[in-house]
């Protein structure tokens, strides 16, 4: 008996308050290869058919999970949502015919792709340090607290300078954060116009996970968030203040 059979039996015989509607799977984040979804659909529809055959239950819903890939760097080439939708509907029809099953209601969990590329982070450049025979470090006024992904699992990003950079030479640098940790690196070895203090560095594709993962590491205030649309800009998260940071702290009466 498969694990799925065991679960179906449990729902049928023990947890009768549960209404088994369909199957859900999640094959991972940053899926760039539509064929992965095709393979997933083939397996899931086969399982729908097996549940029907062995248990007489007609499952009508199929949740394929996520997560659609987004472009963090030039190497990332995500297929368009339209291409993925066409592939999913085509594969679903083919698999349903193959296993003589009615088409289920399809759900997907697009995850970060809904919002990720609509966000950028603007850092102000601070000091630089050239390490002999190694990279040049350029420090910015943020880092692993507003974006822990590079420090946690070496996530890659790309960046550009947002202010006027006419006639500047390019050089390879590593963008370091302000949090006093050796892992506090935002981008390693990126080719950028020579950076000077107060330049604005724009790091792309930070609309998903960054704010939700942000922390007050080393007691630093979280940055503000601004919505920019059709030449209008509005504050949607205020910059944190020192007062906000200590708002929950209290001094015992006896002191
Ligand atoms: C169940 C489930 N669905 C969807 C996603 C997709 O999210 P994302 O593409 O943002 O990683 C995840 C993330 O791991 C997940 O756990």
Q: What is the CATH number of the domain that holds 74?
A: 3.20.20.10
Domain boundary among 57, 85, 113: 113
Q: Is residue 192 within 8 Å of 165, Cβ to Cβ?
A: no
Q: Are residues 128 and 89 in the same domain?
A: no
Measured in angstroms, how far is the CA atom of residue 109 from the centroid of ligand 1?
7
Residue 229 belongs to a domain:
no
Report the predicted TM-score, pTM, of the whole model to 2 decimal places.
0.91
Per the rule left: phi > 0, alpha: psi between -120 and 50, beta: everything else, 247 is alpha
Domain boundary among 113, 144, 170: 113
pLDDT at 134: 85
How many domains are there within the chain? 2
Measured distance CA(112)–CA(116) in Å, rounded = 5
Measured in angstroms, how far is the CA atom of residue 14 from the centroid of ligand 1?
30
**Containing domain of residue 86, as a range?**
3-113
Q: Is residue 203 within 8 Å of 155, Cβ to Cβ?
A: no
Bridging pattern class, strands 185-193 and 170-176: antiparallel
| Active-site option among 77, 180, 202, 250 | 180
Measured in angstroms, how far is the CA atom of residue 23 from the centroid of ligand 1?
16
pLDDT at 236: 96
Q: Are residues 109 and 137 in the same domain?
A: no
Report the nearest atom of ligand 1 relative to the CA of 29.
11
Measured in angstroms, how far is the CA atom of residue 100 from the centroid of ligand 1?
30
Q: Are residues 123 and 198 in the same domain?
A: yes
Domain boundary among 96, 113, 130: 113
Q: Are residues 13 and 98 in the same domain?
A: yes
Residue 71 neighbours by CB under 8 Å, 6+ apart: 77, 78, 117, 205
Residue 227 belongs to a domain:
no
Q: Are residues 12 and 89 in the same domain?
A: yes
Measured distance CA(5)–CA(61) in Å, rounded = 17
Cβ of 149 less than 6 Å from ligand 1: no
Q: What is the CATH number of the domain that holds 140?
A: 2.40.37.10
Measured distance CA(97)–CA(108) in Å, rounded = 21
pLDDT at 224: 97
Q: Are residues 15 and 96 in the same domain?
A: yes
Cβ of 29 less than 6 Å from ligand 1: yes
pLDDT at 76: 95
Residue 247 CB burial class (10 angstroms; 0-12, 13-18, ≥19)? exposed
Residue 202 annotated as catalytic: no
Cβ of 67 less than 6 Å from ligand 1: yes
For atom 13 of ligand 1, the residue with the nearest CA is 29
Cβ of 66 less than 6 Å from ligand 1: yes
Q: Are residues 109 and 127 in the same domain?
A: no
Q: Are residues 104 and 143 in the same domain?
A: no
pLDDT at 133: 86
Cβ of 209 less than 6 Å from ligand 1: no
Residue 132 belongs to a domain:
yes
- pLDDT (tens digit, 0 to 9) for every residue of the chain, 255 residues total? 899 999 999 999 999 999 999 999 999 999 999 899 999 999 999 999 999 999 999 999 999 998 899 999 999 999 999 999 999 999 999 999 999 999 999 999 999 999 999 999 999 999 999 988 889 999 999 999 999 999 999 999 999 999 999 999 999 999 999 999 999 999 999 999 999 999 999 999 999 999 999 999 999 999 999 999 999 999 999 999 999 999 999 999 999
Residue 231 belongs to a domain:
no
Residue 130 belongs to a domain:
yes
Q: Are residues 167 and 201 in the same domain?
A: yes
């Amino acid at each position: 008996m498969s694990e799925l059979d065991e679960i179906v039996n449990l729902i049928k015989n023990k947890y009768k308050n549960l209404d088994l509607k369909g199957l859900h799977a999640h094959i991972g984040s940053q899926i760039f290869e539509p064929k992965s979804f095709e393979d997933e659909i083939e397996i899931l529809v086969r399982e729908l058919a097996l549940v029907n055959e062995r248990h007489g239950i007609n499952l009508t819903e199929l949740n394929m999970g996520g997560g659609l890939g987004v472009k963090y760097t030039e190497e990332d080439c995500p297929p368009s949502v339209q291409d993925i939708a066409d592939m999913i509907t085509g594969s679903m029809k083919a698999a349903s015919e193959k296993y003589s099953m009615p088409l289920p209601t399809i759900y997907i969990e697009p995850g970060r792709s809904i919002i990720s590329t609509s966000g950028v982070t603007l850092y102000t450049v601070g000091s630089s340090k050239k390490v002999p025979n190694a990279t040049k470090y350029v420090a910015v006024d943020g880092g692993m607290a507003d974006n822990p992904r590079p420090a946690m699992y070496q996530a890659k990003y790309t960046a550009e300078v947002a202010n006027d950079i006419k006639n500047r030479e390019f050089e390879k640098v590593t963008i370091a954060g302000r949090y006093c940790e050796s892992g506090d690196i935002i981008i390693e070895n990126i080719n950028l116009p020579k950076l000077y203090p107060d330049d604005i560095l724009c790091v792309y594709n930070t609309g998903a996970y960054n704010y939700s993962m942000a922390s007050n590491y080393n007691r630093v205030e979280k940055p503000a968030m601004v919505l920019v649309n059709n030449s209008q800009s509005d504050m949607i998260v205020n910059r944190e203040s020192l007062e906000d940071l200590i708002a929950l702290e209290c001094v015992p009466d006896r002191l």
